[in-house]
């Protein structure tokens, strides 16, 4: 039985887009569910925009999400090297082979000549395509162009009137005419770098890739690549083009819809297992319709045939709900460790000793189950880290009522002789004070909560008071009583 091999081939020219990560995930799930080899290849032939920093970021994001590869730049295999910039001699060798077989040629057209041809085609009402003016140059014509200092590209001869068909694993049969492909295509640029459509064919063929799984924005690259496969006598792999992810307005996911890079979600404190779960359900669904699944469950249930043709919507509310479920199941220590960088960035904490860590753990425990992502802790737990809290005009008016003043003064009097606040003591006092003051329920608890936290709602009040500590609570009571006087 033939070994299945898939690959993810990102360009290190920027942060990884959500769509690209979903492509990596589908390749990974296919490899693990089918027992295939998963190859990571770096397409870094865009020398101006590619960087080592972005390559490292690719590794970081994939590892964070839990996507492991079997072969790649850091995991040598039998078909390396796994960076395109280290494979240039290979591309030139195959380009020369095509030239010798009269399937490709050097083209010396200037950008101005190509633009003139494009305009004329539009004026005639035709789809712009390369005219083929350099297809059959004589030796003398080539020598003239060389003397003029023209640097040639190498073009692949696209046959006329040919129908290219392939069976897409998701879309079904796709048929495209060669006349719509823009004419003879450039395979080696004037700077000696291969174009995407040429390099990807050479790499996939030599790396024995059996299934090419990518986004549907590559559909019109596929017939061009099939022509090159045939011209070089390579075996054509199976293709699968996953539907593009849309924003809530059903247009292609972009920055106007919010965060579009996977790293932005990592930095906000989304959990990798939640993101893995969420992304796997963009176009795919298991038979049992269960939504919350571990990585192992997803791999076990994954079947490529269950990927839908329709475009999935990136629903941030669903992601937030899903991430909240995973946060709730996580140990509080994990959430504390993820929260610390956000609290430091906000200037709320600096160095942490064991005592401070344990206090922080208690604070975050109050909010943990309500977090959609960890960065929210900065706003949700703000009252524990600022010296003074703010009050709205509506709050001040509420606190000016006779009952509110009575409760606040009684609470301040109770604290006067206390060395510290404990939950049990405060709880006991509150029971007695409601009877003695004749103020109960919301009229009793709300003034204390607003005065001490600047908020109308929040975690259990006695826990909040105990964690804030006596000194801070008394200061806030003094301040608010002065304000309402």
pLDDT attached to residue 37: 98
Q: How many separate helices (H) and strands (E) can be counted in the chain?
A: 20, 9
Q: How many CB atoms lie within 10 A of CB 288?
A: 8
pLDDT attached to residue 406: 96
Q: Is 255 a catalytic residue?
A: yes
Binding-site residues for ATP sit at 255
pLDDT attached to residue 39: 98
The string of DSSP letters for 210-255 reads: -EEEEEGGGGGGHHHHHHHHHHHTPPP-EEEEEPPPB-TTSSB--G
Binding-site residues sit at 255
| Residue 177, H or E segment | strand 172-177
- CATH 3.90.800.10 placement within the chain: 86-242
| pTM score, whole prediction | 0.93
pLDDT along the chain (485 residues), means of 10: 91 95 98 97 93 96 98 96 97 98 96 90 87 92 94 96 96 95 96 96 98 96 98 98 92 80 97 98 94 97 94 96 98 98 96 94 98 98 95 94 95 93 95 94 96 96 97 95 88
CATH architecture designation of domain 86-242: Alpha-Beta Complex (3.90)
Separation of first and last alpha carbons in the chain: 86
pLDDT attached to residue 318: 97
Indicate if the alpha-carbon torsion angle 268, 272, 274, 280 is positive or negative. positive
CA distance 79 to 22: 25
pLDDT attached to residue 7: 98
pLDDT attached to residue 121: 85
Nearest to 387 by CA among 336, 454, 448, 449: 454
Q: How far is CA 417 from the centre of its chain?
A: 54
pLDDT attached to residue 225: 98
The string of DSSP letters for 332-401 reads: HHHHHHHHHHHHHHTTS--S--HHHHHHHHHHHHHHGGG-SSGGGHHHHTGGGT-SS----HHHHHHHTS
- CATH 1.10.10.350 placement within the chain: 393-484
pLDDT attached to residue 1: 60
280: region left, alpha or beta (phi > 0 left; psi from -120 to 50 alpha): alpha
| Residue 403, H or E segment | helix 402-416
pLDDT attached to residue 77: 96
- CATH 1.10.8 placement within the chain: 330-382
pLDDT attached to residue 470: 95
Q: Are 249 and 258 in contact (CB under 8 A)?
A: no
CATH number of 393-484: 1.10.10.350
Q: Report the half-sphere exposure of 483 (CA within 13 A, side-chain side).
A: 20
CATH number of 330-382: 1.10.8
Q: How far is CA 371 from the centre of its chain?
A: 20
Annotated catalytic residue within 52, 139, 173, 255: 255
């Amino acid at each position: 039985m033939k070994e299945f091999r898939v690959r993810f081939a990102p360009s290190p020219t920027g942060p990884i887009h959500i769509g690209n990560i979903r492509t990596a995930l589908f390749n990974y799930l296919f490899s693990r569910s089918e027992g295939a080899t998963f190859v990571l290849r770096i397409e870094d032939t865009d020398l101006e925009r590619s960087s080592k920093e972005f390559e490292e970021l690719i590794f970081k994001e994939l590892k964070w999400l839990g996507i492991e590869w079997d072969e790649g730049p850091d995991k040598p295999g039998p078909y390396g090297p796994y960076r395109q910039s280290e494979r240039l001699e290979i591309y030139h060798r195959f380009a020369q082979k095509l030239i010798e077989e009269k399937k490709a040629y050097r083209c010396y057209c200037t950008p101005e000549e190509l633009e003139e041809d494009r305009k004329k085609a539009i004026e005639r009402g035709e789809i712009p395509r390369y005219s083929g003016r350099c297809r059959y140059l004589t030796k003398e014509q080539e020598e003239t162009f060389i003397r003029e200092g023209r640097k040639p590209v190498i073009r692949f001869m696209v046959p006329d009137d040919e129908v290219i068909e392939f069976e897409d694993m998701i879309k079904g049969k796709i048929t495209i005419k060669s006349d719509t492909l823009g004419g003879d295509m450039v395979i080696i640029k004037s700077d000696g770098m291969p174009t995407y459509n040429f390099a990807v064919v050479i790499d996939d063929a030599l790396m024995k890739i059996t299934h090419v799984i990518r986004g549907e924005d590559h559909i019109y690259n596929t017939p061009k690549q099939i022509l090159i496969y045939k011209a070089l006598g390579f075996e054509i792999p199976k293709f699968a083009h996953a539907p593009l992810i849309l924003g809530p307005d059903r247009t292609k996911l972009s920055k106007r819809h919010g965060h579009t890079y996977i790293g932005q979600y990592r930095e906000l404190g989304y959990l990798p297992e939640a993101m893995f779960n969420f992304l796997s359900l963009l176009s795919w669904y298991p038979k049992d319709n269960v939504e919350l699944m571990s990585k192992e469950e997803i791999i076990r249930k994954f079947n490529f045939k269950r990927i839908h043709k329709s475009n999935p919507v990136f629903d941030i509310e669903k992601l937030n709900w899903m991430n909240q479920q995973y946060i709730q199941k996580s140990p509080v220590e994990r959430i504390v460790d993820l929260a610390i960088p956000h609290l430091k960035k906000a200037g709320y904490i600096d160095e942490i000793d064991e005592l401070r860590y344990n206090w922080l753990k208690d604070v975050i425990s109050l909010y943990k189950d309500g977090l959609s992502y960890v960065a929210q802790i900065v706003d949700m737990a703000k009252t524990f880290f600022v010296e003074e809290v703010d009050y709205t005009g509506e709050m001040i008016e509420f606190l000016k009522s006779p009952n509110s003043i009575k409760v606040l003064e009684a609470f301040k009097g109770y604290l006067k002789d206390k060395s510290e606040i404990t939950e049990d003591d405060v709880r006991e006092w509150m029971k007695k004070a409601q009877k003695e003051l004749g103020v109960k329920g919301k009229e009793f608890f709300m003034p204390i909560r607003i005065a001490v936290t600047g908020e109308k709602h929040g975690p259990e009040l006695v826990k909040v008071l105990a964690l804030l500590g006596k000194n801070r609570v008394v200061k806030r009571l003094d301040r608010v009583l002065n304000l309402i006087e």
